[in-house]
Amino acid sequence: MQSFELDKSDISKLKVALNGDDAGLEAILAEYHASEIAILFESLNREEKQRIINLLAVEVASEVIAEMDEESHPEELLLKMDPDKRTEIVEELDYDDATDILSQLEAHEQAEILEDLSEDDASHIRNLMRYDEKTAGGLMNTQFIKVNLNLMKKDAIEEIIRQSEEIEEFYTIYVTDDEDVFQGIVSLKDIIKSKGNVKITELVRAEVAWVYPDTDQEEVARLISQYNITSIPVLDKDMRLLGRVTFDDVIDVLEEENTEDILKISGVSEDEELSGNWAEAVKSRLPWLILNLGTAFLASGVIRHFEPTIKHIAVLSAYMTIIAGMGGNSATQALAVTVRRISLYDLTDNQAYRTVLKELTVGMINGAVTGLIVFMFAFFFDANPMLGLVIFLAMTGNLIIAGVTGAGIPLVLKRVGIDPAIASSIIITTFTDVFGFLLLLGLASRLLL
């Protein structure tokens, strides 16, 4: 199946169908997969989405609800549905998906929906809602298959078949002892290929990755990626199984975390929805811009201090923007690489030192090369080799500072417990602007006046 890309013709076709009767709309909807309908929902208003979700069969509607992103507010669609169909849809959802959606509602709205569910389903969802949504507990599904390690092959297969009736998909079979303590995993392939008189205890793999319910979702994603596994068990302090986190949940986590890091590095709050309106965007971004304005005054203060130098050598003002711009770009490159390394690995002191040393070296080489280019420009265009030398030294020095701060500042912030993606960009911009101007104007005052 090819990936679905939103096309104007799809929207137009759906809009036309929405102006017609239900039978025509159902015929159009039948052409799309549930995940494609969820994408189409991004271009529809609330009333149009509500009409469609009410028309869809329970199985399809539950898939659409599960595929909708948080910003599309699937919980609002559930609230306005017929209570009986809403109950069927929620019961059709995986427990983790149902928990994620209901968690967006007010407490009284959650209670209203949970009261209509079966006691077992409501209990599972209430249990999951106790965990922070950005932890393994918030990601896990409490539906899994487990077998006792003392079972024979035949009995184990019968148990797997019995439990699988309630589970849509499973990738790993978990093994517990008589006290229900987690012992490891076993693959269905190993069970099927084994001899008829083998016990599960002979097939179990005890050395497996697992997490606690309060493990951060980024760590969960890292472990699944590192060990190339399809799911990871979630255990309590007594080593008893609570649930499992599957790779499809981790894909969503990685996308969310990457988006969050990009927004933070850009000075945008993670609370700003990508599809939000202008008021939300202003509320999210203005505080960061005001903070950035405060740091810009520092760079402005340096320029004011060297105002006599600029009056005597006016051409310096043209090169100031080049020095500051190149320093900012270089620092952003070092910052992006370092923040990504921090998010993927828990860097040791030696690795952190090597990271800063690498960026210092890169900054020195890039500064020398770009500085030489600007030197040649000043030499031929301004006919002033000393001006070119000043610019060369300032460019080289500022890119060295950019590399060191771009790598060093996020590492320092991480060490003191501050998210490096949040504050790093503003700090390094201040460093490169202030020191860039200091180097250029300071050297010019010494060498050219």
pLDDT in tens, 389-445: 999 999 999 999 999 999 998 898 888 877 776 667 778 888 889 999 999 999 999
- Model confidence pLDDT, tens digit, residues 280-313: 777 767 777 787 788 788 888 999 999 999 999 9
What's the CATH number for 278-447?
1.10.357.20
Cα separation, 75 vs 65, in Å, equals 8
Residue 173 Cα distances to 147, 163, 195, 201, 247, angstroms = 7, 11, 18, 13, 15
Cα separation, 365 vs 400, in Å, equals 9
Residue 210: pLDDT band (50, 70, 90) is very high
**Both tokens of residue 236?**
């309590």
Domain spans in the chain, listed from the N-terminal domain onward: 8-130, 145-247, 278-447
Cβ pair 299, 432 in contact under 8 A: no
What stretches of 129-174 show up as alpha helix (H) in DSSP?
Answer: 136-139, 153-164
- Model confidence pLDDT, tens digit, residues 220-279: 988 988 888 889 999 999 999 999 998 888 877 777 666 666 666 555 555 555 555 667
**What is the model's pLDDT at position 260?**
66
**Both tokens of residue 90?**
């929620």
Cβ pair 265, 335 in contact under 8 A: yes
Class level of CATH domain 145-247: alpha beta
Cβ pair 364, 396 in contact under 8 A: yes
Cα 36 from chain centroid (whole Å): 22
**What is the model's pLDDT at position 141?**
87
Residue 363: pLDDT band (50, 70, 90) is very high
Residue 140 Cα distances to 90, 98, 219, 252, angstroms = 17, 11, 14, 13
Cβ pair 17, 28 in contact under 8 A: yes
**Both tokens of residue 221?**
């994603």
Q: Say which residues have a Cβ less than 8 Å from residue 357's Cβ, sequence separation at least 6.
A: none
Rounded to a whole number, what is the distance in angstroms from the first to the last CA of the chain? 70
What stretches of 240-348 show up as alpha helix (H) in DSSP?
Answer: 247-265, 278-305, 307-312, 316-344
Q: Which CATH architecture has domain 8-130?
A: Alpha Horseshoe (1.25)
Backbone angles phi, psi at 244, to 5 degrees: -145, 145
- Please tell me whether the overall predicted TM-score, pTM, comes out greater than 0.95 for this model: no
Q: Say which residues have a Cβ less than 8 Å from residue 414's Cβ, sequence separation at least 6.
A: 342, 420
Cα separation, 439 vs 429, in Å, equals 15
Nearest Cα residue to 387 out of 305, 326, 322: 322
**What is the model's pLDDT at position 1?**
41
Sign of the C-alpha dihedral computed for residues 134, 230, 67 and 283 taken in this order: positive
- Model confidence pLDDT, tens digit, residues 3-47: 455 566 778 888 888 888 989 999 999 988 998 898 888 888 889
**What is the model's pLDDT at position 366?**
95
DSSP state of 181: B
Domains 145-247 and 278-447 are alike in CATH topology: no
Check pLDDT > 70 for residue 332: yes
Cβ neighbour number for residue 27 with a 10 Å cutoff: 11
Q: What single-letter amino acid sits at 23?
A: A
When comparing pLDDT for 43 and 163, which is higher?
163
